[in-house]
Chain A
Amino acid sequence: MKNEILISGNEAAVLGTIDAGAKIMFGYPITPATEILEGFIKKTEVEPDLKLKYLQTEDEIAAGFGVLGSVLGGVISFTASAGPGHVLLQDPISMAENLRLPFVGIMMQRGGPSTGTVNYSQQEVNLAAFGGNGDGHRIVYSASTVLEMYQLTVKSFESAWKYRFPTIMLGDGYLGKMKAVVKLDREKSKVLAKPILEEKAISTNLRNCYSSEESFAEVLNTQYVEWDKFKPEIVESESYKTDGAKTLIIAHGLVASAAKEAIDTISKGSKKIGLFRPITLNPFDGEKLKKVAAKAQKILIIESSLNQLSRIVKYELAGMKLKFIEVSRPAQGFTSLEIINEIRRHNG
């Protein structure tokens, strides 16, 4: 088939960074994100016309601040990390939140806390969406297929530069390592990048430190107004077979793909089961979720973490009289058969 290639999630992400126009990658070896660094570095060698650069830094903190330096100079750049590295990156990400810098990071979730496992989890949702100090805002996408590892990576750069919030593309260790046959339509970059330190006659002076609560509050409030203004443009979600569904599954990332497979298998019968899949975890498509959830009799929130997604869902649906069934498997995946069993168990 034209355009169909056998490719891994990490390889697809690398293509996404290049097609988005990224020119520099800063990174540090950490499983399961190392392949993104190695893949990007390979591109610097085999496609010299792209004029790509990279730096393997001394640690993740240096990598993150390197990205900030690069975007200040107007060059599209990014980092990729996981687990403990994702924790360290909260330092530079919070500077990006304060200064509205277009930081992009691809985070491949693994088991935590601490070194945990190198394999898989969905346990970095809190970290990705709310990990900074203060009330900063960052955009978080969650990829559920190898194709989305490409598409959402491209989108991450577009959103970061258009809306000026640091953006995280969340994958996981399974998605990074798995190979699939994908119809990859390569996109052309829509990112408009220009120096933030503008090198004009009138100088740009940026600070992230303020002396008084009041002056800081002014800055923060402007940010919150912008976030609320852009939210409807940024939010994304998918409602899969939710029309008339009495049982609603809420899941994101690769778990949502297993859920779709489960739904396709079961709904050959009479039971109507649907899936609400947030594509942005932050900002969250609460409006859509409210509509879909209102009609459900049973809601199963399925995730490979201890209620990190569930907490967001409950917040978004607060006030509605709904009962939630939380199906949590911290740091372990769900096969579609396991999801089918959960559905049957709770449907009696």
Chain B
Amino acid sequence: MNRIKLFLAGEGGQGIQTIAKVLVDAAELQGYQVTYIPAFGVEQRGTPSTAYIIIDNKPILYPRFESADIAVILQERALSLVKKHVTPKSKVIFDSSTVPAKLIEHANKLGIPATQIAATQFIAKSFNILIIGKLSQLLNLDENLVWDSITKVLGKKFKDEKVKKLNLDTFKFGRSAIFEVDHFSKPVFMPMKEKIVRKGFGKHALILPERCKGCHICIAKCPVAALSKGDNLGVFATAVPEIDLEKCIACGNCFRFCPDAAIKVEKDKSAKE
């Protein structure tokens, strides 16, 4: 095998480093020389999380590189970082359900709607397992060794057999997934850009996905369970709340507790006043 340089880019919270840890663990078990180095800032969420991986038969001296043989982009905001590491010879793999294909100007782009598949067929959180599946197949890493590495790295999170089986299915799906080479999926799993306005029952509500991080404190603090997880995604691609104005009593809790000023409900001004 010639040296393979793999650059992963996503966002904090997506499990990018888990993908990297599993791949290098499996590669080492298979007898390869590997280096891996993560790169991220101080913030836990909202900023890029990237990893440089080098797999070779010969010893590797320096873990970072200019141009990647394979660049993987899993979040639109990390696109500019990936561009620095891509040459015409690189393969560019992207999550077509979260990254618009038209933003990637490259002849050799390969799409996989991983977030969409995980959210609709398995569990949303396991989308990185799907990516591990596909990448490990691309790198010719042995399927069993990779699954062993997954259980080693994530073992504690597989609380019961059902969860473990679900992740195994996700992994296997990834292994056999076929890349989209021209007709790419639509990026449906993207943060909503518009404001959400709801009116009725003498109240009006404003919810701002552009600021909502999906922390769900508002849902926890609502005394009448008028808030629940909605289908729209907020800025960190997590579920924005939806409101039932009939149940709502406009107590002001959601507004008071929201750390990001992303929600407020007010009573309509009385027509008589």
Contacts and interface: CB of A to CB of B under 8 A. Distances in A.
B62 A257 contact: yes
B148 to A, nearest CB: 14
Given A181-B28, A337-B66, A6 B34 contact: yes
Nearest to B40: A119
16 contacts: A6-B28, A6-B34, A178-B36, A179-B24, A179-B37, A180-B33, A180-B35, A180-B36, A181-B33, A257-B61, A258-B61, A335-B62, A335-B64, A336-B61, A337-B66, A338-B66
B61 A335 contact: no
B46 interface: no
Given A6-B24, A6-B28, A336 B38 contact: no
Contacts of B66: 335, 337-338
B63 interface: yes
Describe B's contact surface by its main secondary structure.
loop
Contacts of B24: 6, 179
A232 to B, nearest CB: 29
A180 B60 contact: yes
Interface of B: 24-25, 28, 31-39, 41-42, 59-67
Nearest to A339: B62
Contacts of A119: 39
A167 interface: no
A1 B29 CA distance: 10
A111 B24 CA distance: 28
B35 A336 contact: no
Given A6-B25, A6-B28, A177 B64 contact: no
Contact of A179 (B36, B42, B61, B67): B36
A161 to B, nearest CB: 31
A257 B37 CA distance: 15
A130 B117 CA distance: 57
Contacts of A196: none
B36 A261 contact: no
Interface residues of A, number: 22
Contacts of B38: 177
Interface centre among B35, B61, B64, B67 (most CB of A within 10 A): B61
A42 B41 CA distance: 25
Nearest to B34: A181
A174 B62 CA distance: 10
A335 B52 CA distance: 12
A257 B63 CA distance: 10
A145 B65 contact: no
A333 B66 CA distance: 11
Contacts of B28: 6, 181
A178 B42 contact: no
A64 to B, nearest CB: 24
A346 B25 CA distance: 40
Query: Across chains A and B, which 10 residue pairs bring their CB atoms closest together, nearest first?
Result: A178-B37, A258-B62, A6-B28, A178-B63, A261-B61, A257-B61, A179-B36, A180-B35, A337-B66, A257-B62
A258 B65 CA distance: 10
Contacts of B65: 335-337
Interface in A298-348: 333, 335-338
Given A174-B63, A180-B60, A336-B62, A31 B42 contact: yes
Interface centre among A177, A180, A258 (most CB of B within 10 A): A180
Given A31-B42, A119-B39, A179-B24, A333 B64 contact: yes
Contacts of B39: 119
Interface in A217-255: 254
Given A179-B24, A337-B66, A145 B61 contact: yes
Contacts of A261: 61-62
Contacts of A257: 61-62
Contacts of B32: 181
Contacts of B36: 178-180
A41 interface: no
A118 B32 CA distance: 30
Interface string A173-206: 0100111110000000000000000000000000
Contacts of B41: 118
Contacts of A258: 61-62
Contacts of B37: 174, 177-179
B9 to A, nearest CB: 16
A138 interface: no
Contacts of A254: 62
Nearest to B58: A264
